[in-house]
Structure 1
Amino acid sequence: MTINTRVDEAGFRPASRISTIGVSEILQIGARAAAMKRDGKPVIVLGAGEPDFETPDHVKQAAWGAMQRGDTRYTALDGTPALKEAIRAKFARENQLSYDIDEITVATGAKQILFNAMMATVDRDDEVIIPTPYWTSYSDIVAICGGKPVLVACDAANGFRLQAEQLEAAITPRTRWLMLNSPSNPSGAAYNADNYRPILDVLLRHPHVWLMVDDMYEHIVYDGFRFVTPVQLEPRLGERTLTVNGVSKAYAMTGWRIGYAGGPKALIKAMAVVQSQSTSCPSSISQAAAEAALNGPQDFLAVRTESFRRRRDLVVSGLNAIDGLDCRVPEGAFYTFSGCGGVLGRLTPDGRKIETDSDFCAYLLDEAHVAVVPGSAFGLSPFFRISYACAETDLVEALRRIREACGKLV
């Protein structure tokens, strides 16, 4: 759904900067699924990128303690000193990265971090390289800020990972940023040290290109995969890299809305200017909770990741047992990104032809009452994303329904 820039009956004319920007297809599918549920249909929603675990009790208690102390007022613009110190310690402890306090920023979710960075650095027609499949907001944020998203398709044969030769070919004098996400939403693909090295070598040869790395899913990796972040491997890129993270996924704190990043002092200062004219400081209560999450016990992370791994294996094996579907095993996050090219061209029971991954996902919602997201929403077709951050019983039933629906295609 895109916005019509013509003047309507009430005289409203939206800005041209959002003329090609639509409401997230994930949200649209979720809204349609919710409406079907209200009508009594037994819809299983596998679209939301949200852990089904509770926020840890010690984090909730920290928020309550902050309220009891009266910490309910404005804080420092881009993060309390206590939270920034917790972030500094986290980066040092887990990523071997060293940042000063004024090289750290906190915002209302990682999405605002990305927006602040793009708004602070991207001029009209500056180019931002985005490997696909990508999280849906990446390209729209770039476009809203006046930049040009340069989408580079990364296929399943290469594990949905950007290759060095692709990056080299995409760089021009107008390139401002490369955006990387590992583990990835939507594919679950992740870069190890060997995968990153050729890409970092390309960046070293192009000093005008900055790197934005989204590490939001760093704690959700499987099968002994060793997470690394680029500056950890190549410190020379530290002066032009923004390392983005948050507490939403690992700590099941999506609604608390806290994202953070470490990067060069000048960039962090420019991002603060942007934030000062939008949301100002993040919630004081949420910042206290995030501080407790980063400083507190971490042992539960492995337990939750093991639960996700079991669900991953269930979904991957279930999808690969269905004729026409092909699903690689993701290294991390809690998504599968399955190919559905094998069902394209087939007919539904009422004679409709499945021509695209969007058609297939619409068919699954109508026929099987299972909501998934088409790969087109993430810039790569023909695929579809399943979020397995839900009950195993729901996953088993959803797979049964998908198998039955696919069996009806001719």
Structure 2
Amino acid sequence: MAKIQSVRGTHDLVGETAAAHNYVVAAARDCALRFGFEDIDPPIFEFTPVFVRTMGGGSDVVRKEMYSFTDNGGEDISLRPEFTAGICRAFISGGMQQNLPLKFFAHGPAFRYERPQKGRQRQFHQIDAEILGVEGPGADIEIITLGAEILHDLGILGACVLELNTLGDPESRLVYRDALVAYFSDHKDKLSEDSVDRLGRNPLRILDSKDDGDREIAAGAPLMAEFLNPASADFFAAVCEGLDTLGIGYNLNQHLVRGLDYYTHTTFEFVTNALGAQGAVIAGGRYDGLIKMLGGPPTPGIGWAGGIERLGMLAAHAPAPVRPIAFVPMGDAAERLALKLCHGLRRDGFTVDMAFRGNLSRRLKRANKQNARAALILGDDEIAKGVVTLRDLDGGGQQDVALDDIAVHLRKLTP
């Protein structure tokens, strides 16, 4: 029988990895709640057309990376490769348009079949924020500010740079698209195979190609700023002014694009070099045409997603876990009494771990390995006297403490 092991591109969240993961999620959610966002938890799988419509049937994600299957009922199902599509589907199917504007925060796993690399697996985890129903630049400013504030709360904002661009409104984008097709068509013989394929489908994606030859050609391509109509220019100017007011620095990057037609106006990424090659830790943009394309009412939207693994690697200094109290019962009678005492201490807010087996020495070694603050030792002699032995595992001293006074004495050790 083959050895049982994890699937390539997956990893187990345990120990320090789990602590870093939970730290990022807790900090991000706390920050989002302060901004007035509410939780949403869409399913991890949807009908495949939800993602095909939103990400484009010709996109690399749909063609090469989605985990799709036909279920036992004959339905085409896909594991989510990102959150936005599921949240927009929930908005439509849940009839939420009466409650606009809406601000959602989500977190959880997503799935893409791609080459595993540092901070990115085939099952990976994201935090996600979306604002629906706000046409003006105020939503763009708030969603970017939320991302910056989460990075600040994690202590990593200084390691990140905000890259910012505009795609303009649909009218501006269409004119720009035509200009790009004309420009790249003149250099078609020098483009990579992927970029030649993108030329007819998503010419904007050639601008962020990783191919060195494509990059050289793209450096001379027309810039979006040259094709913005006055309304689009004013919109972007208002976004920049809002960020300036808040002291949020940014770099204008006119090669920062989104290839699908429903993306409009603001696009942005918080990027870092701290994990090796430059990469985004939070990325997003405005998608005013997406919900209508899914069959819902015309509804503007903007959002971002952040990679929890990459954020956790950057943060690196998650708060130390609460040091437990080790309860060490010796003997059957002590174990029965310890059950009740542990239960009461946990209700009082203490973190208590009770060793289940081993002699006193072995159980105290386990307590030290757990970095326990104190040990409560209970045996037949202690039961007869109505006490426990409270051992200070930092200072080394110990004392007998009445059973009713355990919490009082522990609070002196764990303020």
Return the TM-score normalized by structure 1. 0.22
Work out which of the two has the higher radius of gyration on C-alpha atoms and give 1 or 2. Answer: 2
